[in-house]
């Protein structure tokens, strides 16, 4: 048996053993559902309130968790009869590194994620004098990346409080401070 075949067999055996150990320690699947409210500060726009929902998908290894989320914020401003509004609906997935702690009721984490941003903007102007009213709309779909972290605190056997900070990079960069409640499913 030549040396390259032996190295390949050892690599396959090592990957098989480590994958089985990781899968034995994983807890992947729908674990909790939650809702959130956030203060969002989009790039070049005043801060606004956002709302969201999320699904805790458990862990793929003891220190790495996954979360799917949907978040929405909108901002409107009116001056001199003209109205402008911007909104963002995000569908995304976050990976979280769960820091080892001695207190099981508090779980700090750092994370990163990808999301699809459905951005829309509209400007409308009412008719004034001889000028007719007009309205302009624009929408785009963009891929975004986010970095953040936070903490999950147990409020009981089936309820958690989450506090998080996230910074998202997309067409409209945005910083958000999020507070959420999550409820465990099943037993």
- Asked if the structure places residue 159 within a domain, the reply is yes
CATH assignment at residue 52: 2.40.160.20
Residue 5 lies in a domain: no
pLDDT of residue 19: 46
Domain count for the chain, please give it: 1
Contact 87, 72 (CB under 8 A): yes
Residue 104 pLDDT level (bands cut at 50, 70, 90): confident
Residue 3 has pLDDT above 60, yes or no: no
Asked whether residue 63 is domain-assigned, the answer is yes
Cα distances (Å, whole numbers) of residue 33 to 29, 56, 127: 12, 6, 47
Domain holding 144, by residue range, is 28-184
* Residue 17 counted as domain residue: no
Gap between the Cα atoms of 74 and 180, Å rounded: 19
The predicted model gives 100-126 an average pLDDT of: 93
Give the containing element (helix H, strand E) for 4. Answer: helix 3-25
At 63, phi and psi to the nearest 5?
-110, 0
The mean of the pLDDT values for the chain is 87
Report yes or no on whether pTM surpasses 0.85.
no
pLDDT-derived band at 7, boundaries 50, 70, 90:
very low
In a domain? residue 60: yes
**pLDDT, tens digit (0-9, with 9 covering 90-100), for 12-52:** 555 554 444 444 567 888 899 999 999 999 988 889 999 99
CA 11 to the chain's CA centroid: 35
Per-residue pLDDT, averaged over 1-5, amounts to 51
Query: What is the mean predicted confidence (pLDDT) over 78-105?
Result: 92
3-state secondary structure of 125: strand
Evaluate whether residue 132 is within a structural domain.
yes
Position 16 in a domain: no
pLDDT tens digit sequence for 144-172: 999 999 999 999 889 999 999 999 998 88
CA 140 to chain centre: 19
Rounded Cα gap, residues 72 and 91, in angstroms? 9
């Amino acid at each position: 048996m030549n040396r390259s075949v032996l190295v390949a067999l050892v690599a396959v055996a090592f990957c098989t053993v480590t994958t089985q150990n990781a899968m034995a320690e994983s807890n992947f699947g729908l674990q909790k559902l939650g809702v959130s409210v956030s203060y969002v500060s989009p790039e070049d726009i005043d801060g606004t309130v956002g709302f969201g929902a999320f699904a805790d998908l458990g862990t793929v290894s003891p220190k790495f968790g996954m979360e799917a989320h949907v978040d929405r914020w909108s901002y409107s401003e009116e001056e001199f009869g003209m109205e402008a509004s911007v909104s963002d609906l995000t569908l995304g997935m976050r990976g979280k590194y769960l820091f080892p702690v001695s207190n099981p009721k508090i779980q700090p984490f750092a994370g990163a994620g990808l999301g699809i941003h459905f951005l829309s903007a509209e400007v409308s102007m009412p008719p004034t004098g001889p000028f007719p009213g007009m309205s302009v709309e624009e929408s785009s779909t963009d891929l975004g990346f986010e970095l953040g972290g936070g903490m999950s605190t147990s409020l009981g056997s089936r309820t958690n409080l989450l506090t998080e900070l996230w910074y998202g990079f997309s067409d409209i960069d945005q910083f958000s401070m999020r507070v959420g409640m999550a409820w465990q499913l099943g037993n």
